[in-house]
A and B are shown apart, each in its own frame.
Chain A
Amino acid sequence: MLSFLIRRLLQTVPTVLAVVMLVFVLFSVVPGSIISTMSDDSDPQVEARMKKQLGLDEPVYMRFGAYVAKLATGDFGTSFRTREPVTTMIAKRMGPTLQLIFASMAFAVVVGVPLGFVAALRPGGIVDSAAMVVAVSGLSMAKFWLGLLLMYLFALKLGWLPSFGYGDGGLKYLILPAVTLGVSPMALLARTTRAAVLEIMTADFVRTARSKGMSETRVVKWHVMRNALVLILTTMGLQFGALMGQAVVVEKLFSWPGIGSLLVDSVLQRDIPAVQGSILVVVLFFLAINLLIDVLYGVIDPRIRYA
């Protein structure tokens, strides 16, 4: 197990380096610089000094080398925009983003998995059809539009929840953004669960279990659910990573103070250290979740070995 973890952690190094390089090179070649967003009217001499101070006067490869060296010590650099350490900026935003992502995934699992199960137990029935309509709608709806609809219904019409903001970080502020973000993975989980359960229900070992006189409840609980969980976990892992990216829209819509809104503003203002730091955190989160899922495979299915 330990050697597996070490091997997997080492495998993440080239991935992280590739992402760092890609983002660095991309933002070095795209037009626009932080200096033009800082002042409408600055002296060329001052601009030159500014470039020097920010290290933008050096060749790309030198800047990249210096950046990677700093990164190795855990220093993400200093924001061009706010002049704060990027790690401080990200730390302030990380909590609300994680809160939003975990709440969204919780919603997706609590609603999506049972929905898929119920649909699969009576394929073609009313519940199945209704569940799949919900799933397809959830996958097709744009988050921005869905968020507005939820705001309109639950804040404006029913007055149950606030329409925006972080408030004190309490549940009532979290519900609408979490549901908006969670609908898409919920729909995917429902479809995945249904497909997995349907496939397992016709497997030989399930037929054997039934022929041995095992009750349907025990068959579903011990054989179907456990086997379906591997696929569900894989979907969850991928969706966790995707949620980090999708949170950008939801955070902006609901004025949620997460990484997403930091990323948007940093890109628009060409705050390269903040962009790099934010993307790196998203990537690291994605890799960490996938590693966790790999570990969980073994817990759920003992046949999987960490060879």
Chain B
Amino acid sequence: MFRMIAIVAGLGLALAGSAEAQTPRKGGTIRMTAPYGSSFTSLDIHTTQRAQDEIYAKALHRSLYIWDSAEGKPVPELAKEVVVSGGGLVYTFKLRDDAYFHNGRKMTADDVIWSYNRIMDGAKAYPGARYVRVIEGAAAVEKGQAKEISGLKKIDDFTLEMKLTEKVDPGFYLFTALTSIYPADEAAKEGFIQKPIGLGPFKFVEHVPGSRIVLERWDRFYKPGKPYADKVIVSVMGEAAARDVAFRNKEIDTSVLGPAQYVAYQSDADLKGTIVEVAEVFTRYMGMNPAFKPFTDKRVRQAINYAIDTDLIINKLVKNKAYRATSWLPLTSPLYDKTMKPYAYDPAKAKQLLADAGYPSGFEFEWTTSQNESWGLPIVTAVIPMLDKVGIKAKVKQVETAILAEVVRSGDYQAFVYSQQSGPDPQAALKCFHSSTPQSACNYMNFKNADFDKLIDEAGQTDDAAKRGQLLQKANALLYEEAPVWFFNYNKAVMAVQPWLKGIQLNATELTHQNVEDLWVDETSPAK
């Protein structure tokens, strides 16, 4: 079984545990917050990859698969049965015949095919294309060489055959809202973007741009007895301090906490019990450009890992709102190797490695960073004196987060600090370092290593899951040894949850993304 390590603090565990024991109450309003900006990007969820937008989309839409936080893996959602054939490349989905769109029409295989074809429209650059590309013929549609994805075949209204390009679990690719299934006829109309229709447990009521989205229970949702709540309100609240006041004032049911608030809530007897935390599948690191001379040498890259007192930074600056990284695959990955130890803080060894590599006096490099408080400028500022101690001088180049994304994809850097998704699928996460993966995709360090490629290729070819796991763990260990990055930390996502909100899932892919049909509020909620 896919293993999941979820770390729950204090009463958070009791909170989740007690929720299981109680009978869910019907009715009430769930008041969630969207903390990652001052607006939702769009009501067309295919167009936006921001975590902010998926918060409401989890209530409004459904994809072929869904993330099961308890199991730590994607499970079929719109299919009752999945049969694998063709050497692991052909998936036949027996679709639900009880899934109704919010306009009352039943979902069929045509809707799935239409939605995936839409996502692959290359002229629109839908972000979900990177997932749908796993279906044979999808890339041809994206490039304008074909009109329809050849790997999708409708057997009948409720049976769909999907041919993949490689042996992977399509669940990892087709569970996010980016691949939501739209009603083929309705979604093509102009007004759809103003009043979206989905398959989710809640239907759209109102969007006040820059303020909130309101959804109400969809009575024909296919899971019996669900959803529990009558209404869901997702308020846009980008300011942490404002969220803090609103949470303490009981105006909202959930609030994402930053490092400073994490400390404050932990030391407050009334709020400590509201904290829920999980190791998310994001790895924070300093990427080093192998084309920049000193970083070509593995010993230099290792020296950087030895020169930085990572634990001190996590403790003092990140306020322990992170887990020390021991390689690429994070704590919640099914292949996380707990026997691996992080690079020790050892400036003497760092100096020795630098001398061995031909840099006894160190060198200078430019470090590109954003202002992010958890993995940006404050971290870089703290690391610079540590590197200085071993003779390495770093010059800071500060850019906006959006610019940083361009910088890492173009390779226009000597070093950069970043947070990158490293799960939930370990195979996909490690494949980013395969030499065939373009830098513009996710091989941001342009990593090329024949031994690593061999391990990844073998893992992709084998049908033996245990062997695949071993090969991928070996690849992960090799990455640690090669140190293309300074392994900083894995994100610890922390959310405060009011005691009356039950059923919170410890979603390692993104804690704010909740399967809202499983949430319910008890009678103590101030929002009736």
Contact = CB atoms under 8 A, between A and B. Distances in A.
B406 A164 contact: no
A156 B235 contact: no
Contact of A49 (B47, B144, B241, B246): B144
A148 B402 contact: no
B245 A46 contact: no
Interface in A156-177: 156, 159, 162-166
Interface stretch (A104-112, A117-125, A216-224, A247-255): A247-255
B209 A89 contact: yes
B225 interface: no
Given A41-B130, A152-B245, A36 B122 contact: no
Interface in A259-300: 261-262, 264-265, 268-270
A83 interface: yes
A83 B191 CA distance: 12
Contacts of B339: none
B211 interface: yes
Contacts of B527: none
Given A46-B129, A148-B242, A262-B39, A256 B211 contact: yes
Contact of B400 (A32, A41, A46, A254): A32
Contacts of A89: 209
Interface in B193-226: 193, 208-212
A114 interface: no
A163 B251 contact: yes
Contacts of B212: 165-166, 255
Contacts of A166: 208, 211-212
B123 interface: yes
B406 A36 contact: yes
Interface centre among A163, A164, A166, A253 (most CB of B within 10 A): A164
A48 to B, nearest CB: 9
Contacts of B142: 43, 46
Given A156-B248, A264-B38, A38 B193 contact: no
Contacts of B405: 36-37, 40
Contacts of B210: 93, 251, 255-258, 261-262, 265
B350 interface: no
A265 B122 CA distance: 25
B442 interface: yes
A151 B242 contact: yes
A84 B237 CA distance: 23
B396 interface: no
Nearest to A169: B208
A82 interface: yes
A166 B209 CA distance: 10
A44 B39 CA distance: 29
Interface string A9-32: 000000000000000000000011
Chain A: interface size category = 35 or more
B174 interface: no
A53 B403 CA distance: 22
Contacts of B401: 268
Given A151-B242, A254-B242, A49 B42 contact: no
B42 A255 contact: no
Nearest to A36: B406
Interface string A120-162: 0000000000000000000000001001100110011001001
B171 interface: no
A165 B246 CA distance: 10
B38 A265 contact: yes
Contacts of A40: 49, 127, 130, 405, 409, 442
A59 B38 CA distance: 32
A202 interface: no
**Residues of B contacting A: mostly:** loop
Contacts of B129: 39, 42, 46
A45 interface: yes
B238 interface: yes
Interface in A192-245: none
A92 interface: yes
A293 B401 CA distance: 42
B193 A84 contact: yes
Nearest to B34: A255
A33 B406 contact: yes
A22 B401 CA distance: 24
B206 to A, nearest CB: 11
Nearest to B399: A31
Contact of B37 (A147, A156, A265): A265
Contact of A268 (B242, B400, B406, B441): B400
Contacts of A84: 193
B440 A44 contact: yes
B442 A41 contact: yes
A252 B38 contact: yes
B125 A47 contact: yes
B286 interface: no
Nearest to B421: A40
A85 to B, nearest CB: 11
A92 B39 CA distance: 13
B442 A163 contact: no
B85 interface: no
A268 B37 CA distance: 10
B510 interface: no
Given A32-B406, A83-B42, A151 B123 contact: no
Interface string A79-101: 00111100001001100000000
A268 B130 contact: no
A255 B122 contact: no
B403 to A, nearest CB: 5
A165 B235 contact: yes
Contacts of A253: 239, 242
A83 to B, nearest CB: 7
A98 B317 CA distance: 41
B245 A148 contact: yes
B211 A49 contact: no
A268 B41 CA distance: 11
Given A35-B125, A42-B129, A156-B245, A261 B235 contact: no
A40 to B, nearest CB: 7
A261 B209 CA distance: 9
B39 A261 contact: yes
B135 to A, nearest CB: 15
B249 interface: yes
Interface centre among A43, A144, A270 (most CB of B within 10 A): A43
A71 interface: no
B249 A163 contact: yes
Nearest to B212: A165
Given A33-B406, A81-B41, A81-B47, 7 more contacts: A38-B125, A42-B125, A82-B41, A148-B242, A165-B251, A265-B37, A270-B402
23 contacts: A31-B399, A40-B442, A41-B441, A42-B125, A44-B440, A46-B122, A47-B125, A49-B123, A50-B125, A81-B41, A83-B42, A89-B209, A148-B245, A151-B242, A163-B242, A164-B251, A166-B212, A255-B212, A255-B242, A257-B211, A265-B39, A268-B401, A269-B41
CB-based closest 8 A-B pairs: A257-B210, A261-B210, A257-B211, A261-B38, A39-B127, A50-B125, A41-B130, A36-B406
Interface of A: 31-33, 35-47, 49-50, 53, 81-84, 89, 92-93, 144, 147-148, 151-152, 155-156, 159, 162-166, 251-258, 261-262, 264-265, 268-270
